[in-house]
Amino acid sequence: MPERKSYYITTPIYYVNDVPHIGHAYTTLACDVLARFKRLDGYDVMFLTGTDEHGQKVEKSAAAAGVDPQSFCDRVSGRFRELAASMHFSNDQFIRTTESRHIQSAQALWQRIKANGHIYKGAYSGWYSVRDEAFYAESELVDGPDGQKCAPSGAPVEWLEEPSYFFRLSEWQEPLLQFYEDNPHFVLPKSRMNEVVSFVKGGLRDLSISRTSFNWGVPVPDDPDHIMYVWIDALTNYITALGFPDTESADYQRFWPADVHMVGKDILRFHAVYWPAFMMAAGLEPPKRVFAHGWWTNEGQKISKSVGNVIDPFALVEDFGLDAVRYFLMREVPFGNDGDFSREGFINRCNADLANDFGNLAQRCLSMIAKNCDGKVPTPAVLADQDVMLLSDINAVLNEVRVHLDDQAIHQALEAIWRQISRANGYVAAEQPWALKKTDPDRMATVLYVAAEAVRNLAILAQAVMPDSMEKLLDQLGIDSRDRGFDQLGEQGRLKSGMPLPSPSGVFPRLSEKEAM
């Protein structure tokens, strides 16, 4: 038996200075969809998420909360675990940067880079943003309120002078540009790759990678007065989870380099410039891809705690149900673009696509089988051309979905599935099995069999996005839990005539704002 192909996907590790919001749910959901899809497609998957718990912001947030940093991190990290559970994320590991394995890993990476001559000690003076955990050149600053200097993100900056270790990032300009040329899909969407290349071509300065003005972080090896700069600490989590510094470990050998690092566009530079440079400087392989997605607004407004329009994913799931939330977030906006959330748009999208399209197809088909076929899978006669064409087109959509998801175009994968849902609805409407009961019962049985087969295949394909709803639907079709992988699509897993089916029930209720409120 051939060895299964491997797939490693990561979220950014989330900073614990605040509680989870819709942005965190969105990023992890995208990774969950891709991980679930690859498992269904026979891959050995490693899906990693976790929390980034070091840095000056955490130290300040803990002090403001009147607790020590570790207790603060334990509490907030717990909320991210709760989010993963409430959204039914299927991550294989949840990593925390305060774990001893991570501290060992980050220090080992530092030592490799230093041993290769890419770290030196000096002094830093320049503009620093505590909120962004980033240094900025004078040319990057913008005017904020009252003429205050701010980072491009709008975060305030302060002038910082302190001893520091530096990474020789300037020496990696040409190697990085060559790496991007050799790997043109390293960053997606393509517009983000253009941004990265432009930034690197603009010239790279050596990067300050340690701090002495606070102590909540990973100590620099052999110089504990220095704490590692948060990005060299945080980024190392992706290899910590695979057993680094043991590069001969089974997980490291199996899963590195990562197939996809999923990130928000605001942290693209750290993942697409600093991280591959760190890895190459350590003599290790860079990841295969960084995908930078967009941000959500709320009813056209930028999401902000001060405005009070933060979207709470826990509340959204409680109001509308988990799979409706998962579907909307993955379907509404081209993945990679910015998107706007509105409750009206949410309800309209879910009612149109889930209740009216997929739900109606499944409920109508299964109800007619229950009523007209003694609640058993009907026995088809010889399939007509239109029957064969519908089933063959649905069977073929897997390859199209694979292509889209390998480019992280999740919205396009869903569009491809929904085109077949629409075709199946059109097929039932054209064949009118309700009218065939009296005129041609054999043809009625054939049409209902084909429709049920269409639902089975479409439900298997949609599992990655809506696992709970598709589990209920496949249960109603009598499909064993072991027969729901993509290897059961088409002829291989065809419904068995005469098999008793449970009583059908709706999978996608219609949503209304009144009921949610």
Whether 404 and 412 have beta carbons less than 8 Å apart is answered as yes
Name the token pair of 189: 């969407």
Full DSSP string of 15-44? ETTS---HHHHHHHHHHHHHHHHHHHTT-E
DSSP assignment of 45-94: EEEEEEEE--SHHHHHHHHHHTS-HHHHHHHHHHHHHHHHHHTT---SEE
Pick from 86, 15, 79, 85: which is nearest to 51 by CA? 15
- Helix pair angle (441-461, 467-476), 10° resolution: 150
CA separation for the pair 419, 473 (Å, rounded): 19
What is the sign of the dihedral through the CA atoms of 104, 108, 109 and 110?
positive
CB 203 within 8 A of CB 42: no
Tell me if 31 is assigned to a ligand binding site: no
CA 504, chain centre distance (Å): 32
Instruction: Spell out the residues 6+ positions from residue 456 whose beta carbon is closer than 8 angstroms to its own.
Output: 474, 477, 479, 493, 495
**In this structure, what are the phi and psi dihedrals at residue 501, rounded to the nearest 5 degrees?**
-115, 145
Which stretches of 87-227 are DSSP H helices?
100-115, 173-182, 190-201
User: Which tokens go with 413?
Assistant: 């994968």
Structure tokens at 499: 């098999």
Q: How many separate helices (H) and strands (E) can be counted in the chain? A: 21, 19
CA distance 176 to 276: 8
Q: In what order do the strands lie in the sheet with 210-211?
A: 210-211, 223-228, 219-220
Q: Which residues pair with 47 in a beta bridge?
A: 9
- List, in sequence order, every beta strand (DSSP E) within 134-283: 134-136, 142-143, 149-150, 158-167, 187-188, 207-208, 210-211, 219-220, 223-228, 260-264
Tracing tokens 């704490």 back to the chain, one arrives at 227
Could you tell me where the DSSP H helices lie in 286-340?
313-320, 322-331
Measure the CA–CA gap between 96 and 15, rounded to whole angstroms: 10
| The two structure tokens encoding residue 329 | 């977030």
CA dihedral 345, 351, 353, 358 (to 10 degrees): 170
Q: Residue positions in the annotated binding site for Zn(2+)?
A: 150
Q: Residue positions in the annotated binding site?
A: 150
